[in-house]
Structure 1
Amino acid sequence: MPDEEKVVAAVPKGLFVGGRWRDASGGRTFPVTDPATGAELCAVADATPEDGMAALDAAAAAQDGWARTAPRERGEILRRAYQMLVDRTDELALLMTLEMGKPLAEAAGEIAYAAEFFRWFAEEAVRIDGGYASAPNGAARMLVLKVPVGPAVLVTPWNFPMAMGTRKIGPAVAAGCTMVLKPAEQTPLCSLALAQILADAGLPDGVLNVVTTSDPGGVVGPLLADGRVRKLSFTGSTEVGRHLLGQAAQHVVRTSLELGGNAPFLVFDDADLDAAVDGAMLAKTRNGGEACTAANRLYVQRGVLADFTERFTARMAALRPGRGTDDGVTLGPLIDADAVAKVTRLVDDAVRRGARVVTGGTAPGGPGHFYPPTVLADVPADAEILRTEIFGPVAPIVAFDTEDEAVRLANDTEHGLVSYVYTTDLGRGVRLSERLDTGMIGLNQGLVSNPAAPFGGVKQSGLGREGGRVGIEEFLETRYVALPAP
């Protein structure tokens, strides 16, 4: 395993503006800590609003030249960056584990996932097309072009610090857009490492600019108020997303938002229970439950309720919490003390209302931000945990009797990101795929994320899609040219 101190030391700690690393105004910095121990890993530049505007200046200055760059050249830059990510998997995975906490094996999996966005959009860069047609009356011709939206502001979360960066940067680079990236305060190191990789891959100065800051609202707000920004891509909480959407509306900035989730996981009497338990573990414990796609509410048909609960609880109880760099650890810490406090509050509320703790249920205290794998049974309908995104390794289980009841319970939320369904009845699977009000459905699958598929939700889970063929469209405008008939 690479040396921890060397891996952290190798990452630039400044702001990346116009292709150069620089200090924040006044030399301001903020600390980055290891959530498993609370120890400070390093300090990084703490951007001011003025620093953010300097990054936008660089992006705006580079936009015209980058838009004219050949699609093949843009794709080759992404392809080289893809290979660099793959080649440096071990050190990048360790960096992620240190600043975010997930076990090394999961971190390595995220590096592979993140790299695939660069490979996918490297291929999409040369497939941007338009159209040419005769007007219905034959008197004119219609030429349709696809052009870059323009300078984009990208705001990424802490839970998948590398993959959320590549999922936004990849299509922007492929489409010909310049960018200002603002990573999460808790996990800036992965984004800084990614900026250096792209620079090494040949990305021209000013195309990608990275500003790390402890004042995200103070830095991002002025960018959205500047008319030069033409695109906002945000992944994070619904609350913050609504606020940014309001700011973006002032200049009618094109916006894509990937917001919170409250995913239902439905298990029917006819399900393959072995597969259902495997899927539930994947959907619930990926990233320690700190994922917008995490199974938040487990609805189990009464005929298999006891069997499923017993099997699932045994698997949850067997997880081994600890620092993600330690051998055998399968569950890392939560991101910070606030996250532990939130999960504790949700579990305590459910228990007060009548839920039964089957395993876990009490934070261990001590160094690090840990919460044990927890299963709750007999969770009442009025428990807050059924209405709130948990973002932790806690699984509330609720019984249901009929398919209609399952659909009603699943759809009874303001969110609509993903649903999971386990059934061996193909007809039921098709019906539920049509009735469940979410942007994505895992049918006998506990994992839906795929760079080649459109990722996103409905209702208050967001706007737009990332990944797949439509992912690049979020960074392209359609231009129509009216031509006289030849």
Structure 2
Amino acid sequence: MPTSALTSRESAVVEAVPHRLYIGGEWRDAEGGGTIDVEDPSTGQPLCAVADASLGDAKAALDAACAAGEAWRTTAPRERGEVLRRAYELIVERTDDIALLMTLEMGKPISESKAEIAYANNFVRWYAEEAVRINGRFTVNESGAGRVLTMKQAIGPCLFITPWNFPLAMGTRKIAPAIAAGCTMVVKPAKQTPLCMLALAQILEEAGLPGGVLNVITAEKSGDTMAPLIADPRARKLSFTGSTAVGKTLIKQASEQVLKVSMELGGNAPFVVFGDADLDAAVDGAMIAKMRNMGEACTSANRFIVHESVAEAFADKLAQRMGALTVARGTEDGADVGPLINADAVQEIGAMVKDAVDGGARVLTGGGAVDGPGHFFAPTVLAEVAPGARVLTEEIFGPVAPVVAFSDDDEAIAMANDTEYGLVAYVYTRDLDRAFRVVERLETGMIGLNQGMVSNAGAPFGGVKQSGFGREGGAEGMEEYLETKYVALNVGG
């Protein structure tokens, strides 16, 4: 039950969401009755408890997905799209409640929760429209003898594992294209933030999604429930968003059944500012790229690589902006920065900042944890960070911005590419020739050119190197849930 620290509205929003498993169109308790506490990171207190799925529950979820597969695959594309369209409208209607739910379980300010809901819902709308645009092709054989026919068909039962940092958007950008393509699925949301996924299942049920198409299991130990499903020969697709370390383990597991796999993994995004850049615009972009979601995003700007002629001015302007942010519980009016997800995150980021300072970095603002309750860390800007500092080589996942200087374009590009990750980079310059030279040489799957945001439901989201493979969003996102069948036709010759 919610704690007495919640307001009556907060309690009502939490209680309105089922806290059970969603399997085969039914809400049910976990086998054995186990539960997991969901914590409010701004207080450290529990919000509620949700079902802790057993292996038996997980297998039942996959059974349900498989049983529903043929009927859903052959459902008219327009009908699949209409389910998503109705879900889109319901999410719009319930934005305020879902935003409050998201803030309570994840911590981000209400304004950011609403922004995530709009972003998440764009995937629902986009793929509602794409369901009727799944096309094959018909051509004459190059020899003139016979014809070539190709068709796109749903790949089959899918397994989704989603992270805690964007508890709705990381679900919709997998679930919506899968529904549109005619796939069924089992979804395992992060144990820290299961409530938004349960709310989404509730909405899709109300929108008319047949039982068994979407199955949601919440579990304390992801490996215990999902590894056996990955090993099950009936599963045909695995999509994961999370750390590179976990992703590597899942890729190995998926290889046994040769599952189609898409992985959106870690990042270490460079934010490169050239000497000719509009400095104020660059700082505006830096605030978006760094402070969206308190820096708890794989797309978060991790390293600020700034030309030596403007490095000091940029760092000072950024520190002034970040130092002026209000750190508070996300439900409070005027809150700019909410808590980190848990105490371990605060401790880890604090250790990274200490490592940089011990190596000679100067703290321009922030520098440490904010007194509790809750898991808060002050927005921090570090200048003169030494090469090799952890804040430059590791993904920070928090509100810390290290600034380093470069002297020429080649050095900037080398510094930006000096990482095993390759998700996104940000570039600020007013020189069009330089812009094209740089973006062509950067080793990332996405680039924000003179803007601090790349997320877009109509564009392919994904990385290269150890940031993963596969794409989510756009036409490419639909392809992840389709397989191509070729028919050689002995006609027309």
Same fold (TM > 0.5): yes
- Which of 160, 164, 168 pairs up with 1:154? 160
Return the alpha-carbon distance in structure 1 between the equivalents of residues 115 and 389 of structure 2: 34
Secondary structure of the structure 2 residue equivalent to 1:3:
helix
State the 1:364 CA deviation.
2.4
Q: For residue 3 of structure 2, what is the aligned residue in structure 1?
A: none
Aligned to 1:123: 129
Cross-structure match for 1:234 = 240
2:269 aligns to what? Answer: 263
Aligned to 1:345: 351
Q: 2:313 aligns with which of 293, 307, 310?
A: 307
TM-score of the superposed pair, with normalisation by structure 2: 0.98
Quote the residue 1:179 is aligned against: 185
Confirm whether residue 3 of structure 1 aligns to residue 33 of structure 2. no
Aligned equivalent of 2:107: 101
What per-residue deviation string (whole Å, max 9, x for no partner) do you get for residues 58-77 of structure 1? 00010011100010000000
Could you tell me which runs of 5 or more consecutive residues in structure 2 were left unpaired when the two chains were aligned: 1-6
The number of equivalent residue pairs is 486
- Quick one: distance in 1 between partners of 2:429 and 2:8? 44
Counterpart AA for 1:188: P
| Alignment partner of 1:465 is 2:471 | yes
Aligned to 1:297: 303
Specify the alignment match of 2:97 in structure 1: 91
Q: 2:387 aligns with which of 378, 381, 385?
A: 381
Q: Does structure 2 conserve the Cα–Cα contact (< 8 Å) formed by 1:2 and 1:91? A: no
1:433-469 Cα deviation digits (max 9, x unpaired): 1010000000001000000000000000011000011
Shift of 1:195: 0.2
Question: Is this contact kept in 2: 1:138–1:485, CA < 8 A?
Answer: no
> SS at the partner of 1:299?
strand
Question: Which one of the candidate residues 283, 305, 311 is aligned to 2:289?
Answer: 283
Counterparts of 1:304-453 in structure 2 under 5 Å?
304-453=310-459
The answer to whether the 8 Å contact 2:17/2:199 transfers is yes
CA RMSD of aligned residues (A): 0.9
Contact 1:150 1:229 in 2 (8 A): yes
Is the Cα–Cα contact under 8 Å of residues 316 and 364 in structure 2 kept in the other structure? no
Once the two structures are TM-superposed, the CA of residue 48 in structure 1 deviates from its matched residue by 1.1
Q: Within 1, Cα distance between the matches of 2:380 and 2:211?
A: 48
Answering whether residue 22 of structure 2 is matched by residue 16 of structure 1, we say yes
Instruction: Report how far residue 2 of structure 1 moved.
Output: 8.3
Q: State the secondary structure of the residue aligned to 1:323.
A: coil
Q: 1:205 aligns with which of 201, 211, 214?
A: 211
Give the match's secondary structure for 2:150.
strand
Measure, in 1, the Cα distance between the counterparts of 2:210 and 2:281: 47
**DSSP 3-state at the match of 2:370:** coil
Whether 2:49 is the aligned partner of 1:46: answer no
Q: Partners of 1:49 and 1:336 in 2: how far apart?
A: 27
Per the alignment, in what secondary structure is the counterpart of residue 218 of structure 2?
Answer: coil
Question: 1:90-137 CA distances to partner (integer Å, 9 max, x unpaired)?
Answer: 000000000000000000111111111000001111000001111122
- Name the counterpart of 1:78: 84
Please give the residue correspondences for 1:472-483 in structure 2 after superposition, counting only pairs within 5 Å: 472-483=478-489
**Number of the residue aligned with 2:140:** 134
Give the secondary-structure state (helix, strand or coil) at the position aligned to 2:252.
helix
1:204-242 Cα shifts (integer Å, max 9, x gaps)? 010000000001011110000000000001000000000
The separation in 2 between residues aligned to 1:47 and 1:413, in whole angstroms, is 38
- Relative distance call for 1:282 and 1:221 in structure 2 (3 A) is same
Deviations 1:244-286 (A, max 9, x none): 0000000000000000000000011100011000000000000
- State which drifts further: 137-146 or 203-212: 137-146
2:32 counterpart of 1:33: no
SS at match of 2:253: helix
Q: Tell me the distance in 2 between the aligned counterparts of 1:388 and 1:10.
A: 39
Question: What letter corresponds to residue 49 of structure 1 in structure 2?
Answer: L
Tell me the CA shift for residue 305 of structure 1. Answer: 1.1
Distance 1:214 1:108 in 2: 27
Unaligned runs of 5+ in 1: none
Q: Which amino acid aligns with 1:266?
A: V
Give the match's secondary structure for 1:469.
helix
Tell me, in whole angstroms, the C-alpha distance in 1 between the residues paired with 2:321 and 2:140: 62
Aligned to 1:194: 200
User: Secondary structure at the residue paired with 1:27?
Assistant: coil
Code of the residue aligned with 1:18 in structure 2: it is: G
Post-superposition offset of 1:310: 1.1
Contact 1:100-1:159 at 8 Å conserved across structures: yes
- Which amino acid in the other structure matches residue 252 of structure 2? G
Question: How far apart in 2 are the matches of 1:220 and 1:353?
Answer: 42
Deviation at 1:142, TM superposition (A): 1.1
